[in-house]
Amino acid sequence: MTPAARISAAIEVLTDIEARRRPANDALKDWGLAHRFAGSSDRAAIAGLVYDALRRRASSTYVMGEVTPRANMLGMLRLERGLDVEAIAALFSGARFAPEPMSDAERERVAAANLDDAPPHIAGDYPEWFDGSFAAVFGEARVEEGAALAARAPLDLRVNTLKVERDSETAELAEYNPEPTGWSPVGLRIVVAPGSRSPAIQSEPSFIKGGIEIQDEGSQLAALFSGARPGEQVVDLCAGGGGKTLALAAMMENTGQIFATDTDKRRLSPIHARLERAGIRNVQVRTPRGSTEILEDLKGVIDLVLIDAPCSGTGSWRRNPDAKWRMRPGALEIRQKDQTAVLDRAVPLLKPGGRIAYITCSVLDEENGAQIRAFLARHPAFSVEKPDRVAAVLGERGYLFTKAALISGDGLLMTPRRTGTDGFFVSILRQN
């Protein structure tokens, strides 16, 4: 396919997403099935265009003065890809398979594209109804924080130290030019160019043999900050597919016991194969059975409950840019109720002096600090571990991390702008 044909295809996919209010991945998959002539490089390029357009939807349509998939694409090519008017006009030529030529008004808009006077939610590319929440957390920096959440994310890997060392995996994956992550001592980072295919990591021998897992550095750090130690009794209360369960098992050197569960057994289904591949022996999966409390026998004996709480996912917008435009305020309220319930469910499991690691991939105070403050009001026997002690697990990098992250009395917040990771909030609650 020509570059212009790829632009046309991306506009077609964006139109489908808007008309049917569906996830971008589903629309892209359906387009690929309906256009089997498109090669893998074509599909990768089209996906890159679609996701870049979704990342910059607010700012792109603002500069074009029109909220349409075509305007979204034109504005994105100028703001995100940095193409000038003539380069964009060459793509929008009206030739076979190319989009219709730009009008005089469109050319003028592209040439004058400027966000200097744009409202914060436009310049930061996030939904307007989030602006009050962003202002409460980031203040005047909310435009920069929003823009960082709209940028492309790298591909991060966690090295499974139960099987391999980071240096050996760096050499094993040399063709992808991996670099050690800035904070996590067990992470590798691969930067993927715009429009390029992501590395087929899951086909690599290192992945198949359980030496590496795909996991954002922020998620790796959240697990490390839990302070799980060899020999402890741990519950992963919202284990899902098991990403943090696997990280905890490596931290605990395959000793002690981890009880992994989730309210939805469908989310747990991938965990069994992942545990086997990683060579993990200290995890017991507790699959939910209706309304039965499957952790009843663990009350009062657990050292650590890890809560990777259900949340808005605002911290992962780099990876799911379409999600921010589909979310509605009602969904946030539901997530807050879920968070309150899971926090309270953790308390009876702890033995005296036990702790809760509360984690979200959100940057909103409603799901982070406000939840912690409300929890402490309900459970005054708990206190928040000081962030410098939490970050001490990073050794000499811990101090620098506390200067980079957003620190409060409720916990610590990572963001792409501050720490180069996805957005993650972590609070360690210790029973006094």
Q: CA torsion sign, 227 to 231 to 235 to 239?
A: positive
Q: Which residues pair with 259 in a beta bridge?
A: 235, 284
Element at 219 (helix H, strand E): helix 217-225
**327-330 long-range Cβ contacts below 8 angstroms, 24+ apart:** 327/127, 329/129
Q: Which CATH number fits domain 217-431: 3.40.50.300, 3.20.20.80, 3.40.50.150, 3.40.50.1100?
A: 3.40.50.150
List, as one string, the DSSP characters of 303-358: EEEEEE-----GGGTTT-TTHHHH--HHHHHHHHHHHHHHHHHHGGGEEEEEEEEE
Residue 177 clears pLDDT 70, i.e. is over it: yes
Decide: 321 and 276 in contact? Cβ < 8 Å.
no
Of all residues in the chain, the percent with pLDDT exceeding 70 is: 100
Candidates 246, 206, 209; CA nearest to 224 is 246
What is the average pLDDT across 255-279?
A: 95
Per-residue pLDDT at 289 = 85
Q: Residues within the annotated binding site?
A: 262, 308
d(CA 163, CA 223): 18
Q: Which listed residue (280, 361, 406, 414) is catalytic?
A: 361
Q: Known catalytic residue: 238? A: no
Residue 258 clears pLDDT 70, i.e. is over it: yes
Q: DSSP class of residue 82?
A: -
The two counts, helices (H) then strands (E), for the chain are 22, 13
Q: Residues within the annotated binding site for S-adenosyl-L-methionine?
A: 262, 308
What is the average pLDDT across 82-104?
A: 95
What is the average pLDDT across 117-122?
A: 96
Q: Are strands 233-236 and 302-308 parallel, antiparallel or unpaired?
A: parallel
Cα 21 → chain centroid:
21
Per-residue pLDDT at 195 = 66
The 10s digit of each residue's pLDDT in 128-142 is 999 999 999 999 999
- What are phi and psi for residue 153, nearest 5 degrees? -100, 145
What is the average pLDDT across 156-161?
A: 97
Q: What are the extents of the domains in the chain?
A: 3-117, 119-150, 155-214, 217-431
What is the average pLDDT across 35-46?
A: 90
- According to CATH, the topology of domain 155-214 is Alpha-Beta Plaits (3.30.70)
Residue 308 clears pLDDT 80, i.e. is over it: yes
Q: Are strands 257-261 and 233-236 parallel, antiparallel or unpaired?
A: parallel
pLDDT tier at 293 (50, 70, 90 boundaries)?
Answer: confident
What is the average pLDDT across 168-185?
A: 95
pLDDT tier at 412 (50, 70, 90 boundaries)?
Answer: very high
Residue 33 clears pLDDT 80, i.e. is over it: yes
317: Cβ contacts below 8 Å, ≥ 6 apart:
126, 149, 150, 323, 324, 423
Residue with tokens 């996906």: 47
Candidates 79, 81, 57, 82; CA nearest to 70 is 57
The 10s digit of each residue's pLDDT in 346-372 is 999 999 999 999 999 999 999 999 999
Q: Is 289 helix (H, G, I), strand (E, B) or coil?
A: strand
d(CA 220, CA 217): 5
Residue 197 clears pLDDT 80, i.e. is over it: no
Candidates 23, 155, 124, 183; CA nearest to 363 is 124
- What are phi and psi for residue 236, nearest 5 degrees? -100, 100
Per CATH, 155-214 and 217-431 having the same topology is answered no
Residue 286 clears pLDDT 90, i.e. is over it: yes
